Structure 1
Amino acid sequence: MNPKLKEKIRESLAAVLPITGIVLLLSIFLVPLEIGTVVMFFAGAFMLIVGMGMFQLGAEMSMSPLGEGIGVEMSKSNKIGLAAAIGFIMGVLITVAEPDLQILSEQVPSIPNSVLIITVAVGVGLFLSLAVLRIILKIDLSLLLMILYAVLIVFSFFVPKEFLAVAFDSGGVTTGPITVPFIMAMGVGLSSVRSDKNASSDSFGLVALSSVGPVLAVMILGCCYSPKDAVYSAAEVADVVTMKDVTRAFAMEIPQYAKEVFISVLPIAAVFLVFQIASHRYQRRQRRRIVVGFLYTYIGLVLFLCGVNVGFAPVGTMLGRELAGGNQKWLLVPIGMLIGYFIVKAEPAIQILNRQVQTVTNGTVSAKAMNRALSIGVAVSIGLSVMRILTGIPIQWIIIPGYIIALILSRFVPKIFVGIAFDSGGVASGPMTSTFLLPLCIGACEALGGNIMTDAFGVVALVALTPLIAVQIMGLQYKFKMKKQQMMTKPDDMLPEDIDTIVEFEEE
């Protein structure tokens, strides 16, 4: 087996294993599950692990170099209109192929899947175009985010309440395992041509701005649909007796997902072909690597979606329904928080983020401290999500104060931390949130007789909100440590690189 693929599968196993262990314990002590249901869950988990590993390797081999290459060529062209148009087109195409969005669309009962996916894709495309213009024109990210989120907060009071949670969830799921590598690589490519002091900090922020577009787009869409009349049809676990039945249950669904994924990935492959013909950027070995990456992406995405929708998510819905329907429904809060703590702790993308922050701060803010802060923060956000289901608290009461706090913090932390924080919101709301926690909340809401559109949806949005605050608090910690170091260290005793770091920090 490819050593890199083996590494990615191990990372996926680390992300899925805590949930499978918790589900197994719940099935023993609180919610007895039939053997067939447990087997379907573990079969789905196995496909999810292999599929996610192949998919992440494929995205790394194909999406990242393609995104960086396009970013570099856009920056060299010096044609603002062309750069904005390419940003829009790539935002649309990449989002259509995003697995997290496809999973969310399957669970929203109000509108057809294709309508929701296209609406979100257009939103991402428009705001990715805006993000590209921000880097080229050197617009301050913090100021731009404050304006955009102020618009979202004001607009949220005019959107039907049944659609508000789904809108904020859409912003979280669009920044998933296929979108993040491409968009972040595009940002690196765009800023790499620049040599000014803000080039490194401006490479962050594309994901942050791309997350705003879908929220606004779905809010507008909510004014055109009537979610009150929607009926949610929960996916049920297939009734199986033998292992042959299990195999048949998955085999019957694979052709449909293979067709859908082919349609989603084909436009991106076409973009690569056109880009290579126009720029001749990649050598033969690079071209072969990217083509193999597309193959890994395709196979991995098919396995991922099939495993999630047939065996994994339905068990999450069932557990939520059973826990909420019993006499111990308040156990949902600690159980949800426990799952949230381990989900973010094991997310491969979160570990990459933590190492990135440790490198940027020269170890002043450690990966261990970041890991702990994000784990606690996401656990709290899951607890709040379950509390909303049990009490019916409107999502505005949590999401609006949260964003106000995050935006206020953005005026006091070093610029680079603002980009990292707002980018990390999408990273934290990874595949595990939409594949297990959202179905769990939907099942619980269904059992309690609540409104799924207003009460169950919103969990992805809350998970995406926490890192905005947590990372910026780390940024404040870094700021104070640098100030303290500056006060305690005499200039004559400082190394040249230390002086450069403090000078750059002062300028920020």
Structure 2
Amino acid sequence: MNQKLKEKITESLSSVLPVSCIVLILGITIAPIPLDPLMLFLAGAAFLIIGMGFFTLGVDMAMMPIGEKVGAQLTKTKKLSIIILACFVIGSIITIAEPDLQVLAEQTPAVPNITLILTVAAGVGIFLALAFLRTLFGWSLSHILIVCYLVLFIMAFYIPQDFLAVAFDSGGVTTGPITVPFIMALGVGLSSIGQGKDSHGDSFGLVALCSIGPILSVMILGILFQSSSGSYEPMTIPSIANSQDLWFAFQHELPDYAKEVFWALLPIFSFYLFFQIFFLKMRKRQVIKILVGVLYSYIGLTLFLTGVNVGFMPAGNYLGKQLAGLSYNWVIIPISMLIGFYIVKAEPAVQVLNKQVADITGGTISEHTMMKGLSIGMAISLGMSLLRVMTGLHLLVLLLPGYALALLLSFVVPPVFTSIAFDSGGVASGPMTATFLLPFAMGACEALGGNILTDAFGIVAMVAMTPLIIIQLIGLSYEFKTRRANAKTDLLVLDMNEEFIELEKEESHD
């Protein structure tokens, strides 16, 4: 086996193993799980581990180089209108192909699927173009975010309540495992022509703005349609009598996800071929490496999505029901926090973000620091989400103060931390959130007799919010330590200068 692939699979094993152990321990203690969902979960974990290994290696070999080279090539074009149009087209086409967007469309039956998909895609395309303009002219990300979120929260009071959670969730859904690596790499390529003082900060922030576009566009759609997001249908768990039934459950879904991933990767691959033929003209060896990387990405994401959708979704839903049905059901809050702390490590795009942050900042912000911050953020968001499920708190009661704090912090921390923090919100709310944590909250809400559409939905929005605060607090701590270290250095230099002057005086007296 390829040594790098072996290393990636080992890394993914260490990421998925803690969550699997937590579910198994709960299954044999306070929340017994039938063999059907348990077998699906274990098999799904195996798909997940292998798929994540292939995908992360494919991203390193193909997705990141393609994004960086396309971004760098776009900057060589002197016509601003062409670059803006290219950003809009890239953002729109990649979003249309994002597999998780289909899930969102199915959850809003009051709006035709194609209408919702095109609306969301247009939102991402417009804001990707805006993100490029920010990079080009050095506009403050904090100022743009304040204006955008102010508009969002004003509009939130005018759309149907059960449409609100779906609108905020759409921001996390569209920044999935395909969109994020490409957009982040595109940002690195585009940042080379930016006029801002902070080149590190300018290379981030694209995902942050692309997460706002879908929320805004879906809100506008909700106002125009004046309709609800639809109705919730309880999840059915397939019956597993033997090992052959278990294989058939995955075999039945595998071709569908293989087709979805193919159409999702096709736009990126097409962009690369276009730029390779007319502009890049890379060497044969480099082209072969990228082709192999695209193949790895395809295999990995197909296995990953099959594993989480077929294996993790039923287990998450059933576990939520069991825990919420306990006489001491308050225990679901600390348990959800524990699951959240570890499950973020299994998000494929998180691995990509952490690595790029470490590379861009020269190790100043380590992968370990980023992962710890995201894990704490995920734990807090899951705790608050399950508290909301149990009490029926309105989503805006938590989102308004959370985003207000995040935006205030953006004015006191280094710009690079603000950009990374707002990117991390979209990255953390990936497929694992949609296919395990959301069904977990739905199962708990169903057992408690709550409103699924207003209480359970919104968990993606919560997951996307808390990292904004945690990562910026890390930045604040970093800034404080840096200033203190600089102050000590200045004092040391001052003391040395004073000693030198005194020594000179003594020598002159002699």
Query: SS of the counterpart of 1:252?
Result: helix
1:427 alignment counterpart = 427
Superimposed CA distance per residue, residues 397-442 of structure 1 (whole angstroms, 9 cap, x where no aligned partner): 1111111111111111112221111111122223322221111001
Counterpart amino acid of residue 324 in structure 1: A
Pairwise mapping of residues 17-28 of structure 1 onto structure 2 (< 5 A)? 17-28=17-28
Q: More deviation in 226-235 or 173-182?
A: 226-235
Does residue 486 (structure 1) correspond to residue 483 (structure 2)? The answer is no
1:4 alignment counterpart = 4
1:131 alignment counterpart = 131
Contact kept in structure 2, 1:60 and 1:181, CA below 8 Å: no
Query: SS of the counterpart of 2:28?
Result: helix
> Highest CA radius of gyration, 1 or 2?
2
2:88 alignment counterpart = 88
Q: State the identity %.
A: 54
Counterpart amino acid of residue 472 in structure 2: Q
Contact kept in structure 1, 2:44 and 2:310, CA below 8 Å: yes
Contact kept in structure 1, 2:176 and 2:349, CA below 8 Å: no
2:297 alignment counterpart = 297
Pairwise mapping of residues 94-493 of structure 1 onto structure 2 (< 5 A)? 94-105=94-105, 111=111, 114-193=114-193, 197-225=197-225, 228=228, 230-344=230-344, 350=350, 368=368, 370-490=370-490, 493=493
- The CA distance in 2 between the partners of 1:408 and 1:140, in whole Å, is 14
Cα distance, 1:73 vs. partner?
1.3
Superimposed CA distance per residue, residues 76-131 of structure 1 (whole angstroms, 9 cap, x where no aligned partner): 11221111111111112222343444455556666565554433222211111110
Taking a change above 3 Å as real, the CA distance of residues 308 and 104 of structure 1, as seen in their structure-2 partners, is farther
2:505 alignment counterpart = none
2:507 alignment counterpart = none
Query: SS of the counterpart of 1:240?
Result: coil
Taking a change above 3 Å as real, the CA distance of residues 440 and 106 of structure 1, as seen in their structure-2 partners, is farther
Cα distance, 1:279 vs. partner?
0.7
Counterpart amino acid of residue 313 in structure 1: M
Does residue 30 (structure 1) correspond to residue 33 (structure 2)? The answer is no
Cα distance, 1:244 vs. partner?
0.9
- The CA distance in 1 between the partners of 2:438 and 2:110, in whole Å, is 16
Taking a change above 3 Å as real, the CA distance of residues 160 and 425 of structure 1, as seen in their structure-2 partners, is same
Counterpart amino acid of residue 55 in structure 1: F
Cα distance, 1:362 vs. partner?
7.3
Contact kept in structure 2, 1:103 and 1:435, CA below 8 Å: no
Contact kept in structure 2, 1:110 and 1:226, CA below 8 Å: no
- The CA distance in 2 between the partners of 1:481 and 1:14, in whole Å, is 31
2:65 alignment counterpart = 65
Cα distance, 1:281 vs. partner?
3.7
Contact kept in structure 2, 1:234 and 1:317, CA below 8 Å: no
- The CA distance in 2 between the partners of 1:141 and 1:126, in whole Å, is 16
- The CA distance in 2 between the partners of 1:364 and 1:309, in whole Å, is 36
- The CA distance in 2 between the partners of 1:306 and 1:347, in whole Å, is 14
Taking a change above 3 Å as real, the CA distance of residues 88 and 331 of structure 1, as seen in their structure-2 partners, is same
Cα distance, 1:286 vs. partner?
1.8
Does residue 53 (structure 1) correspond to residue 53 (structure 2)? The answer is yes
- The CA distance in 2 between the partners of 1:217 and 1:441, in whole Å, is 26
Cα distance, 1:376 vs. partner?
2.6
- The CA distance in 1 between the partners of 2:475 and 2:78, in whole Å, is 33
Contact kept in structure 2, 1:361 and 1:478, CA below 8 Å: no
- The CA distance in 1 between the partners of 2:220 and 2:135, in whole Å, is 27
The size of the alignment, in residue pairs, is 494
Superimposed CA distance per residue, residues 376-396 of structure 1 (whole angstroms, 9 cap, x where no aligned partner): 332111100001111110110
- The CA distance in 2 between the partners of 1:281 and 1:196, in whole Å, is 30
Contact kept in structure 2, 1:235 and 1:314, CA below 8 Å: yes
Superimposed CA distance per residue, residues 429-482 of structure 1 (whole angstroms, 9 cap, x where no aligned partner): 233222211110011112222221211111121111111111111222222222
Contact kept in structure 1, 2:55 and 2:348, CA below 8 Å: no
- The CA distance in 2 between the partners of 1:456 and 1:249, in whole Å, is 27
Contact kept in structure 2, 1:11 and 1:348, CA below 8 Å: no
- The CA distance in 2 between the partners of 1:359 and 1:265, in whole Å, is 25
Contact kept in structure 2, 1:237 and 1:310, CA below 8 Å: no
Counterpart amino acid of residue 445 in structure 2: C
TM-score (norm 2): 0.89
Superimposed CA distance per residue, residues 254-289 of structure 1 (whole angstroms, 9 cap, x where no aligned partner): 222223332332233222222222213422122112
- The CA distance in 2 between the partners of 1:143 and 1:226, in whole Å, is 31
Structure 1, unaligned stretches of length 5 or more?
Answer: 495-508
Cα distance, 1:371 vs. partner?
4.2
Superimposed CA distance per residue, residues 309-332 of structure 1 (whole angstroms, 9 cap, x where no aligned partner): 222211111111222233232221
- The CA distance in 2 between the partners of 1:335 and 1:33, in whole Å, is 16
- The CA distance in 2 between the partners of 1:372 and 1:45, in whole Å, is 22
Does residue 43 (structure 1) correspond to residue 43 (structure 2)? The answer is yes
1:505 alignment counterpart = none
Contact kept in structure 2, 1:382 and 1:463, CA below 8 Å: yes
Cα RMSD (Å): 2.6
- The CA distance in 1 between the partners of 2:115 and 2:2, in whole Å, is 38
Counterpart amino acid of residue 245 in structure 1: D
Structure 2, unaligned stretches of length 5 or more?
Answer: 495-510
Contact kept in structure 2, 1:374 and 1:470, CA below 8 Å: yes
- The CA distance in 2 between the partners of 1:351 and 1:230, in whole Å, is 34
Taking a change above 3 Å as real, the CA distance of residues 228 and 436 of structure 1, as seen in their structure-2 partners, is same
Query: SS of the counterpart of 1:490?
Result: helix
Contact kept in structure 2, 1:109 and 1:233, CA below 8 Å: no
Counterpart amino acid of residue 283 in structure 2: Q
Contact kept in structure 1, 2:354 and 2:370, CA below 8 Å: yes
- The CA distance in 2 between the partners of 1:493 and 1:105, in whole Å, is 63
Cα distance, 1:74 vs. partner?
1.4
- The CA distance in 1 between the partners of 2:402 and 2:386, in whole Å, is 17
1:504 alignment counterpart = none
- The CA distance in 2 between the partners of 1:391 and 1:490, in whole Å, is 54
Contact kept in structure 1, 2:162 and 2:229, CA below 8 Å: no
